[in-house]
Amino acid sequence: VVALDSSAMSDPFPIAVLISGSGTNLQALIDSSDRGELGCAIVVVIADRPDAGGLDRARGAGIATEVVGWDDHTDRASFSCAIADTIERHGARGVVLAGFMRILAPNAVDRFPNAIINVHPALLPAFPGADAVPSALSYGVTVSGVTVHFVDDMVDHGPIIAQEAVQVFPHDDEEALHRRIQAVEHRLLPEVVAAFGRGDLAVDGRHVVWTTSADVSR
């Protein structure tokens, strides 16, 4: 079991949040932080595109923002290296991918072992990738959900920290299902990040052990 000593390193634990879109999950993290529940300080919000709506949410909350443009780099490795450099320059020790729609190369992931958390809008290993919600709908599943997991060198694959099911209704469209999935994300992701910030998560192979009674993983 690898005990993650996030809380021991500094208080509150400094994290970077990476986004590509509107940033409703970022907002949930900011709201949790404002309530004093996150146990982490969001020291920077990084987007892969300058028009990511979540950048305005970060600015509104007084959080530093950075854009590391996907289009400004020739390949995934150089983009990923620039992301990792930016995270480190701001002093972040943990990373949350909150609707970040790029795959980080191993050269970045390996710089933050068991310290990058991703939220995915399906019950992994079902429906990995960028189109999880429409893929689940067109497959015809009656249950989908949310996965929060540590990031490793494979796409949507690292050890699962928490999952929660969301019912799929017969007449759901993508928007309706994604809205209910996001409502769960907005609760689950801050809970996981808070546990991470407290140092309450330990990785044992593919399993994540919650070391307190505040266990939302099952």
Q: Which residues bind ligand GAR (CB under 6 A)?
A: 19, 21-25, 54, 98-99, 101, 119-121, 130, 132, 182, 185
Of 69, 64, 30, which is closest to residue 47 (Cα–Cα)? 69
Closer to ligand GAR at the Cβ: 160 or 199? Answer: 160
User: From the CB of 54, what's the least distance to ligand GAR, in Å?
Assistant: 6
Out of 73, 90, 120, 186, which one is annotated catalytic?
A: 120
Catalytic-residue membership of 157: no
The smaller minimum CB distance to ligand GAR, of residues 89 and 179, is found at 179
Q: Are strands 201-204 and 2-3 parallel, antiparallel or unpaired?
A: antiparallel
Residue in the shown chain whose Cβ atom is closest to ligand GAR? 99
Q: Phi and psi (nearest 5°) for 55?
A: -60, -35
Q: How far is the CB of 26 from ligand GAR (least distance, A)?
A: 6
The residue (of 135 and 211) whose beta carbon lies closer to ligand GAR is 135
Contact 164/180 with Cβ under 8 angstroms? no
Q: Could you tell me the smallest distance in angstroms from the CB atom of residue 80 to ligand GAR?
A: 16
Count of helices and strands (H, E) across the chain: 7, 10
The burial class, CB within 10 Å (0-12 / 13-18 / 19+), for 29 is buried
End-to-end CA distance of the chain: 19
Residue number with CB closer to ligand GAR (99 or 199): 99
